[in-house]
Each structure stands twice: as structure tokens, then as C-alpha cells.
Amino acid sequence: MLVLLLVGPLALILLFRFVPPPITPLMLLRLAQGNGLHHEWVSYDRIAPELAEAVIASEDNLFCREAVGFDFDALWRQITAWSDGDRPRGASTITMQTAKNLLLWPGRDPVRKVIEAWLTPQIALLWPKHRVLEVYLNIVEFGPGVYGAEAAARRFFGRSAASLTREQAARLAVVLPDPLHWSAARPSAYVRERAEIIERRIGRLGSLLDCAR
């Protein structure tokens, strides 16, 4: 059993290095909750580069520089905050989120976080950065029952993922922390303001976006 638990996820990670994941645990969970399932895989070159840049600017500025999928400085800040009695604000990287969305369940329980930490460096070391972004942008939840860039672009903006504008890409990136309550199609004042911040940040990241191009 222990061998299966160790080898099984690695086999899936190796498989999904080349094969599009057909479905994820989160998709199945949301489907059972009645949210439907809208998902269409597209290759990385059919997703507007503005979306990858916006996601990096919003979620993980150092993604292109992270060797094993962790932002150790951010993790240390969270540990320090926790030890000081403050509430940690999270230090999840894009690679960590890919591991969670691809193979695990939602939630903040310690068991899931430990497994996520075990899977993250395997993905980071076995996949190139483009593949991490490709899988993440194809499976991440952008709204209730809406997964991946193509389904989100068509449902919220009536266009393909390849033709997303910078503003639309920024809105999609901003809703990722809470896609069940924030909307890219009908953005609140907060989402609009945050999207404008992300657009400005993209212009300042420079070479930190190199791996997305």
C-alpha cells in the first residue's frame, strides 16, 4: 500500500507531463455539488500570453525562478507570522496550486498540505515551466463549474482564450483565489481595482516573465 501511495502519484505526474488530464478531483466534487462542468483543453500556444503573465503577476511573481516549486522566503514569512500569533496569509506558488488542482482535494487541512508539499517538487523537477503553466491554465477553476482558460474565455467574454485582452486576462487572474464568489464577467469594484494593479505590475516584472513567453 505504501509503495502504491508513493509511486502512484509519480506515475500520474509523468503521464500528465505529456497527456492532458481528462478530469480532476475538484471537477468531480463541484459536479457532485451541482455546479456543472465546462472544460476544454487547449495547447499553451492557444492561450493568450497575457493570461500567463497576469497569473504570474497576481499569484506568484517568482514562478520563473523557483527551482523546486516553492517560494522559500514567502514560506518563512508565513512561519514567522504563525509563530508570532498572526494569521498566515498563504505562500502558495503556481506549482503548488497545480499539484493541488491536479491531484488533490480543496481545503486547508494539514494532511492535504503535506501531500501537496510532497508532490510539488516532483512536478517542478519533472515538468518544464511551460508545461506547469499549460496544465494550470487548463484545469484551474475560474468560476462555478468553469475550468481552464478556454472555457472561461468563452463563457465570460464570448471569445477564445487566444484572443483574450490584457484587461480580461487580468480579471481572470484576480478571481482565482475565490472563483465561486468573484466574477471576471461582472467584476466588483475590488476585482476591477485589483485587475488594474495586476496590469501595472506586469509591466514592472520584466525578466521575471521570461519563462511564460
Percent of the chain's residues with pLDDT above 90: 80
pLDDT in tens, 69-122: 988 776 666 555 444 444 444 568 999 999 999 999 888 788 888 899 999 999
Task: Return the CATH number at 121.
Answer: 1.10.3810.10
Residues 78/91, Cβ–Cβ less than 8 Å: yes
What pLDDT band is residue 36 in, cutting at 50, 70 and 90? very high
User: pTM for this one?
Assistant: 0.92
The residue segments making up the domain with residue 80 are: 8-212
Q: Would residue 3 count as lying in a domain?
A: no
Question: How far is C-alpha 206 from the geometric centre of its chain's CA atoms?
Answer: 21
Q: Please answer whether residues 126 and 17 qualify as being in contact, where contact means their C-beta atoms are separated by less than 8 angstroms.
A: yes
Q: Is residue 65 part of a domain?
A: yes
The reported pLDDT for the residue numbered 138 is 98
For 176, which DSSP code? Answer: T
Mean pLDDT value across the chain: 91
Lowest mean pLDDT among 4-18, 43-57, 70-84: 70-84
C-alpha 150: how far from chain center: 14
Helix 2-16 to helix 110-126 angle (10° resolution) is 50
- Judge whether 1 lies within some domain: no
In a domain, 109, yes or no: yes
Lowest average pLDDT, out of 1-10, 29-38, 138-147, goes to 1-10
Q: Is 2 part of a structural domain of the chain?
A: no
Q: Is residue 155 over pLDDT 60? A: yes
Q: How confident is the model at residue 73, as a pLDDT?
A: 75
Separation CA 31–CA 71 (nearest Å): 32
Does any domain span residue 161? yes
- Alpha carbon 29 to chain centroid distance? 18
On the question of pLDDT at 10 being above 80, the answer is: yes
Considering its fold, how many domains does the chain have in total? 1
% of the chain exceeding 70 in pLDDT:
88
Amino acid at 122: Q
Contacts by 191-199, CB closer than 8 A, 24 or more apart: 194/58, 195/167, 195/170, 195/171, 196/170, 198/54, 198/57, 198/58, 198/170, 198/173, 198/174, 199/54, 199/166, 199/167, 199/170
What pLDDT shows up at residue 86?
44
Q: Which of 15-24, 104-113, 147-156, 165-174 has the lowest mean pLDDT?
A: 104-113
Q: Within a domain: residue 208?
A: yes
